[in-house]
Structure 1
């Protein structure tokens, strides 16, 4: 016995080592198919016409503060304020953090789960309880104290847990792209709204200039009426033209107020305390944004990155569905002490248990097969959505390339129309003053001149806005390299880390730390904002 005992012990150890090696090999069994994103055949360059040229690999990339190319200091200040304080951006940062926490939850199942337990009870029975006879000496009190620890672990033989973890990590990258898309949308919306606001300012200036001209025309008709040179109809026509133009100016002011309220919300301010001083002309410097190759656009658009990350998650879900066909193994153990008092020092009061369980699906009426087939279908659906997102991105770039080129030509044509209409207006007014034509010709010329000037301002506004939308279509300076990559960058903390419980460290440049000024919905003192209350 003294000879065979150690041999049996060595055999037991050897078997344990073999089982451990086999388990390690099984843990590396990944049932997810190899991920191969769809490769597209793309054009060599963009087909947009106008001031743009085909892109080359050495073209300069868009700047992150791309709105500064418009050359407006007040817009720069508003964009900076929105990026710091906009509630939608801050809410999206919280969604990103929640995705990181979900990834940490999925990853936690790779580790053994340890729990401690302590309990104490004391029980007293009634002296007159049923079946307790007179003079009975049985115990009336009972106490129990128990302290134990439990451990459970699920060996990831078929990489189901790892695939869920990778899906969660890819979900974090998807939310990082969603954050970038939300931020770009706010940036572009604010820039577009500001451009439209300044366009309304320029239109209001045109109407004010026309009103002054029409007021002078009313005086001319009244003077001619008083001299019995012209009929009263001329005065009525002149006044109708004046009042109609004043009504149009009022409508423009209404539109401007609404647009101003929209901008106020974007920069985290109450509309009642927000006002942007008006200007008389469009203050923007239109410059051509650098283009990228069509193939590079796949790395520059956050929405394309989101669609691709969803496709990667669908690929991992296939591995999870496949793993459900194989045995589900769990190990568990428990140890502790139990006594009817606090005397737990003796091993006599120790207790333990350990075991393993394996569940194998034998017959489930097609449940697992249906789940696997659905996973494959969801993956193909994600591929289709990805391709559709890429096509939409190309369309948006081409649309805004075309708009920018055509609008540049339209602006030049509108300028020529304005020059001709203003000359005609001046000549007809001079002829009317000299009594060589009737006032109806003057009204027609005035309407044509006003419409031409308004059309010019509208075309100039749309031209600037087309540049903003083109930058948005090109990704606004974002790059896929900005996505957090790897567990160290994605996980909000380590398994033994108990710091940063309220706010996790920033990842991918996304932080949930808020600017204290976000709670102040009054004027933030942005450069260029007017402190004068708006006129009602």
Structure 2
């Protein structure tokens, strides 16, 4: 279709030919606008296992039991964690930035769709010009000065014969859906990070309590060895050993407190508080327990993970790019019309001073050195890349679930063994201290027993902490109660209407992505956060 036409009609040719040609062009564009050159899109289908390999203490949830709750952190029954999670969703700056990325994607979709409509504008101007009176070729009756004023309207339209604009619009709408999935992923990741840090903090508190108890015990041991030394019952080496054990334990406690401070600072940043203004009172023991988590079926995972949905949306967008690349092989058609008035005075609005023109143009490049073919080849390669990335994301998701299930199972067994080790080491410590007081053993046996007990206690708390943290990772791997149905529909992506001129800075929230404009954003003191 090697066509290039340009029709210019002036005021003396009449209006009827213009109307007939315009109707013809509109009719032709309506017929051709349904030509979509993008391939038929079908998401990849995978054959997945019927059950998880490492189900362990969790059972597959039946339909009556439902699925994982979206407020999954409440399963740990900790009011402080609940308050922190609520503040994170409202004020975390990274999460709010992810929401703004979604809003930008919605606006880009509107920008792409705007090309479907005629572009209309107005123009006005005037000029006063003078040329030299001594111009060599100027006739005697030629004017030296000339002025003109005009105002006019202009409209251009590009009919979407090959769905180029529609595919660009659909691609941007898909990108917006992908941004919504990325927001959900960011929220899930930040929530999991906060819960993980909080659990670690409480585990450190429990370890600190063990150190406090041990230090009191070791101080009594130092006092005992000194008394025995004064009575010539034991040597000074026992005092030195007891003092060494006490000092090493205090040093280990200070190291633990330094690590706790770092974790506390990380939690503060997550909830939009300056670390210098944030504090969580220590707890004496680890009260958090492993919650009951409905793991569901492996096939359900594909609709519950926002990163999988994001990868699938990227694949759908790449499919649209193929249609865009194909459209470049067909003529690009545009229509334009201009009309107005021009005069060398101020009497513009008269029929004698009217001017107008209309035209249409179709351009088909014949030779571009392989540009369009290379672009089409690249779009197909990009689509296949997204297919591979999608499969990789699915495999990684299954791995994360199995890793978390395995960790919970093995750490649970390890914790039971550690509890037995704590009980046994406690008995050994008491027995060796009794024997030492009765001069039936040396203090080296007491030191060995003390080290064994505190090591067993700390290890038990660490294993329990890791098991609870593994449950957070399992929840994250299962999608945190998110569903693919929460993605915004394409019809809801538009952030403003064609004729909307008010409220454009506050788009209506869709797709469970809020529009955040909180007055507490700049308050970094955490004054609204309840502390216990």
The answer to whether TM tops 0.5 is: yes
Do the aligned residues in 2 keep the contact of 1:414 with 1:452 (CA within 8 Å)? yes
Offset at 1:15?
Answer: 8.2
SS of 1:120's partner is strand
- Classify 1:14/1:521 alpha carbon distance in 2 versus 1 (closer, same or farther; 3 Å): closer
SS of 1:335's partner is strand
Q: 1:4-15 maps to which residues of 2 (within 5 A)?
A: none
Q: Are 2:123 and 1:117 aligned?
A: yes
2:495 aligns with: 492
Q: Are 2:524 and 1:521 aligned?
A: yes
1:206 aligns with: 210
Offset at 1:343?
Answer: 1.0
Where does structure 1 lack aligned partners over 5 or more consecutive residues?
Answer: 1-8, 530-536
1:86 aligns with: 92
1:509 aligns with: 512
Offset at 1:119?
Answer: 1.3
Do the aligned residues in 2 keep the contact of 1:298 with 1:304 (CA within 8 Å)? yes
2:400 aligns with: 396
- Of 397, 402, 422 in structure 2, the residue corresponding to residue 418 of structure 1 is 422
1:5 aligns with: none
1:178 aligns with: 182
- Classify 1:477/1:49 alpha carbon distance in 2 versus 1 (closer, same or farther; 3 Å): closer
> Pairwise CA RMSD of aligned residues?
2.0
- Classify 1:10/1:332 alpha carbon distance in 2 versus 1 (closer, same or farther; 3 Å): closer
TM-score normalised over the length of structure 2: 0.93
What is the aligned residue count? 516
Aligned equivalents of 2:280, 2:18: Cα separation in 1: 82
Do the aligned residues in 2 keep the contact of 1:81 with 1:267 (CA within 8 Å)? yes
Do the aligned residues in 2 keep the contact of 1:56 with 1:293 (CA within 8 Å)? no
- Of 452, 460, 470 in structure 1, the residue corresponding to residue 464 of structure 2 is 460
Aligned equivalents of 2:87, 2:437: Cα separation in 1: 54
Aligned equivalents of 2:18, 2:362: Cα separation in 1: 22
- Of 240, 243, 248 in structure 2, the residue corresponding to residue 236 of structure 1 is 240
Aligned equivalents of 1:221, 1:382: Cα separation in 2: 71
1:41 aligns with: 47
Aligned equivalents of 1:187, 1:414: Cα separation in 2: 30
More displaced 10-residue stretch of structure 1: 495-504 or 265-274: 495-504
TM-score normalised over the length of structure 1: 0.93
- 1:235-275 Cα distance to aligned partner (Å, 9 max, x none): 00000000000000000110011110000000000000111
Do the aligned residues in 2 keep the contact of 1:51 with 1:405 (CA within 8 Å)? yes
Aligned equivalents of 2:369, 2:287: Cα separation in 1: 70
More displaced 10-residue stretch of structure 1: 42-51 or 414-423: 42-51
Q: Are 2:193 and 1:189 aligned?
A: yes
2:57 aligns with: 51
- 1:407-429 Cα distance to aligned partner (Å, 9 max, x none): 12111111110000011001001
2:367 aligns with: 363
Aligned equivalents of 2:144, 2:238: Cα separation in 1: 116
SS of 2:160's partner is coil
- Of 225, 244, 248 in structure 1, the residue corresponding to residue 252 of structure 2 is 248
Offset at 1:123?
Answer: 4.0
More displaced 10-residue stretch of structure 1: 277-286 or 261-270: 277-286
Offset at 1:137?
Answer: 8.7
Aligned equivalents of 1:408, 1:342: Cα separation in 2: 91
Do the aligned residues in 1 keep the contact of 2:58 with 2:294 (CA within 8 Å)? no
SS of 2:358's partner is strand
2:8 aligns with: none
Do the aligned residues in 2 keep the contact of 1:57 with 1:293 (CA within 8 Å)? no
